[in-house]
Amino acid sequence: MSKKITVDLGELQENGILTEETAAKIQAFYAVEGRSTSNRMTIAFSILGAMLVGLGIILIVGHNWDSFPRALKISFSFLPILIGQAACFYSLRNKRENASWREGSAVFLFLSIGACIAMISQIYNMEGSISSFLLSWLLLCLPIVYLMRSTLASLLFLVGITWYGADVSYGSNGVESWLFWLLYFSVFPFYYRLFREATFSNGFNVHSWVVAITFLIALGFLAVNLPVVMWLAYMSLLGIYFLLGAFFGFERQKLLNNPYRVLGALGTLGIFFFASFDDYWKDIFPAGFSPLNVFSNVEFYISILLFGLALYLLIGKGKWRDPMQLNPLSLGFIIYWMTFFIGGYSPLAAAILINILLLLSGLFYIRLGSHREHLGFLNLGLVIVTILIICRFFDADISFVLKGGLFVLLGLGFFFANYQLLKKRAA
Amino acid sequence: MKNRLWLFFALVVLLQLAVPAKMIWDQEVILKEGETFKFKTRPYDPHDPFRGKYVRLQFDNTELVSYVNDWEKGDKAFVLLTKDEQGYAQVLEVDRSPGAGWRSSYLETTVQYVWPNEPYRIRISYPFERFYMEESKAPAAEKYFQEVVRDSTRSTYALVKVKKGEAVLMDVQVDGISLVELAKEKVDSE
């Protein structure tokens, strides 16, 4: 805690502005590790330092010192690992509560293991694909995450394992893809622990982003037999994200710290704008496809699972009892499932349903924005409506004069709505 | 609780050392006990994000005709090796698994291509197509190699130890001289 705050607290207490109890609480709040800026800086620098040195070692290894005898190269390859292990040992023994030590030594060990394996495959000219290289590297590093309670090791693991998954899984359904999921979920207990113990700390927030993005990528690995069904899976996952972002304390966070809400909303809106064209429904289904085909595919059961989860979040925890409070985007995944089964028979009906939902979402955000006097929501609503209208211009046969007139009206609407809100705020 | 943590830590430390050590051991066994073969080769295109520069090798004699019919791309193919009168490696047989009479000098390869209307005709890739070199030498080696390949009087080949399906690429040579030496001369003379 900075000296200034301590002095200020004393003064405030003397002048009777703060009670002793409150002052103690404030002191306790700032004393928690990770809250003070200087501590955060130390952690950041130790991670950065360890990363630079570790990556530097990998690059130096890449130079490939072929004038050195083999035995010397082999012993050098173990040196960084030994240093990393010693540093981890020291942090665990003497600096267990010091996040900078734990993170720094963990990251260094993580990277030096990669450098060692790279060096050995280089010495013996081993062919090894990038996926087998990543797999042995990451398997050896997984325990570091838990032993060192290292946020960054966990993040490196998540990114690495997603890379591995992309390498082995796209378009195949072998043993590797199951191994990928097992390993991917293996760091989730750590993420959960962060959620419990360090809710909405920096480490947790970055984790949320990385988890949200890598999971979106990883879901694509499951598209094997009938990729079109993955639209259902993706819409359900985005539905889960969107709803998740409204619970568990995420609803009180800034949008920057709520990746689930942001990705859920943008993803749902993005797919919906595509799906608002009836051409979309004519194009996505492969020739000879009937909605009844889906029941025999793994992709469908994955989608069902995700749909169930989203539905649980909506009904089990949701605000569905008050329809005026219900954000239409929360219903996006249900509407999409309905249209998916209609779309094959009547593209037009599907497109109309999607258009209605988009329009409702736009109106919802306009209303929310003016109700809460929030310019961001107001303009999001206006943007949704505007994009929707622009999209409809592409397929409707409307004269230029009419198009022009509508655009002028829309523009005026933007000005008017924002002006009204600002005036309301000022009053 | 604390003891358990240290035990786990010790296990992890040992594992992190044992896995690379095992990798080294496996390669050393092949180097010590394997039979040496020369594979005629041409190099091209070096690059790798983690492991540095290498010279990629392209081999002669990779198109094979087998008794097995239903090959698919990505299949494992075992090849039994022999040497021709000049001492270069030749493929004697190819099969899905090592034959009963095969002793030590066979190799596990991957099917790279199957001719569309001739499912018994395949192209294989050997498990030693990368020769890692010091970054300053790799481009010179590649350039040098290309000059040599045009000269039909000189022979370039990979020196490989082979043992029971596995192989270690020891060196790439031009008329008996290591590519590492030749590249070094080339770099020094420039």
Nearest-neighbour CA in chain B from A271: distance (Å): 35
Which of B51, B162, B180 is most worth mutating to test chain A (most A CB atoms within 10 A of its CB)?
B51
Strand order in the sheet with B89-95: B63-65, B121-125, B106-114, B76-83, B89-95
Q: For residue B173, what are its two tokens?
A: 């040579």
Give B40-86 pLDDT, tens digit per residue: 887 665 566 666 677 788 888 788 888 877 888 888 889 998 888 88
Give A43-96 pLDDT, tens digit per residue: 777 778 887 887 787 777 666 666 777 888 888 888 889 999 999 999 988 888
Span A122-135, average pLDDT? 82
Q: Residue A155: its pLDDT value, please? A: 93
Question: For residue B112, is pLDDT > 80?
Answer: yes
Residues of A in contact with B50 (CB under 8 A): 58, 62, 114, 118, 130, 133
Question: What span, in angstroms and rounded, lies between the C-alpha atoms of A52 and A69?
Answer: 27
Question: What span, in angstroms and rounded, lies between the C-alpha atoms of B15 and A116?
Answer: 13
Q: Hey, which residues 116-175 in chain B have their CB within 8 Å of chain A?
A: 127-135, 137, 168-169
Contact assessment for residue B90 and residue B82, using Cβ atoms and an 8 Å cutoff: yes
Contact A147 B168 (CB under 8 A): no
Handedness of CA A404, A409, A410, A411 (dihedral sign): positive
Span B109-134, average pLDDT? 85
Question: What span, in angstroms and rounded, lies between the C-alpha atoms of B181 and A309?
Answer: 63
CB proximity A56 to B under 8 Å = no
Residue B142 parent element (H or E): helix B138-150
Contact A85 B132 (CB under 8 A): no
Name the residue with tokens 């800034």: A254
Span A233-249, average pLDDT? 89
Q: Residue B52: its pLDDT value, please? A: 64
| DSSP type of residue A224 | -
* Cα-based angle A277, A279, A284 (whole degrees, multiple of 5): 110
Q: Which of B15, B133, B134 shows the shortest C-beta gap to A140?
A: B15
Contact assessment for residue A420 and residue A366, using Cβ atoms and an 8 Å cutoff: no
Residues of B in contact with A73 (CB under 8 A): none
Q: Which of B9, B23, B129 shows the shortest C-beta gap to A127?
A: B129
Q: Which of B9, B132, B137 shows the shortest C-beta gap to A125?
A: B132
Nearest-neighbour CA in chain B from A68: distance (Å): 11
Span A152-156, average pLDDT? 93
Q: Residue A175: its pLDDT value, please? A: 62
Contact B133 A120 (CB under 8 A): no
Contact assessment for residue A109 and residue A50, using Cβ atoms and an 8 Å cutoff: no
- Alpha carbon separation from A101 to A40, A90, A206 (Å, rounded): 12, 9, 19
Phi-psi region of A346 (alpha: psi -120 to 50; beta: other; left: phi over 0): beta
Nearest-neighbour CA in chain B from A166: distance (Å): 17
Contact assessment for residue B111 and residue B74, using Cβ atoms and an 8 Å cutoff: yes
User: Does A164 or B147 have the greater pLDDT score?
Assistant: A164
| DSSP type of residue A220 | G
Q: Residue B1: its pLDDT value, please? A: 61
Q: Residue A106: its pLDDT value, please? A: 92
| DSSP type of residue A69 | -
Q: Which of B16, B51, B133 shows the shortest C-beta gap to A81?
A: B16
Contact B13 A74 (CB under 8 A): no
Contact assessment for residue A195 and residue A204, using Cβ atoms and an 8 Å cutoff: yes
Handedness of CA A373, A374, A375, A377 (dihedral sign): negative
Reported as a pLDDT band with limits 50, 70 and 90, residue B173 is confident
Span A251-260, average pLDDT? 85
Phi-psi region of A253 (alpha: psi -120 to 50; beta: other; left: phi over 0): beta
Which amino acid, residue B29?
V
User: Does A224 or B64 have the greater pLDDT score?
Assistant: B64
Q: Residue A34: its pLDDT value, please? A: 46
Nearest-neighbour CA in chain B from A195: distance (Å): 23
Q: Residue A172: its pLDDT value, please? A: 59
Handedness of CA A297, A300, A302, A305 (dihedral sign): negative
- By DSSP bridging, strand B121-125 and strand B177-178 are unpaired
What is this structure's pTM?
A: 0.79
Other Cβ atoms closer than 10 A to B51? 25
Span A162-189, average pLDDT? 81
Q: Which of B13, B24, B137 shows the shortest C-beta gap to A120?
A: B24
Give B6-52 pLDDT, tens digit per residue: 888 999 999 999 999 998 998 899 889 888 888 888 766 556 666 66
Which of B7, B13, B26, B160 is most worth mutating to test chain A (most A CB atoms within 10 A of its CB)?
B13
Question: What span, in angstroms and rounded, lies between the C-alpha atoms of B13 and A376?
Answer: 52
CB proximity B1 to A under 8 Å = no
Contact assessment for residue A91 and residue A101, using Cβ atoms and an 8 Å cutoff: yes
Nearest to A285 by CA among A213, A238, A240, A346: A346
Residues B93-113 as b/e (b if ≥16 CB within 10 A, e otherwise) read bbeeebeeebeebbbbbebbe
Which amino acid, residue B21?
A
Reported as a pLDDT band with limits 50, 70 and 90, residue A127 is confident
Radius of gyration of chain A (CA): 27
Handedness of CA A238, A240, A242, A245 (dihedral sign): negative
Contact assessment for residue B31 and residue B119, using Cβ atoms and an 8 Å cutoff: no
The dihedral formed by the CA atoms of B161, B162, B166 and B169, expressed in degrees to the nearest 10: 30
CB proximity B75 to A under 8 Å = no
Reported as a pLDDT band with limits 50, 70 and 90, residue A397 is low
Which of B4, B7, B12 is most worth mutating to test chain A (most A CB atoms within 10 A of its CB)?
B12
Q: Residue A185: its pLDDT value, please? A: 93
Q: Which of B16, B19, B137 shows the shortest C-beta gap to A85?
A: B16
Contact A74 B24 (CB under 8 A): yes
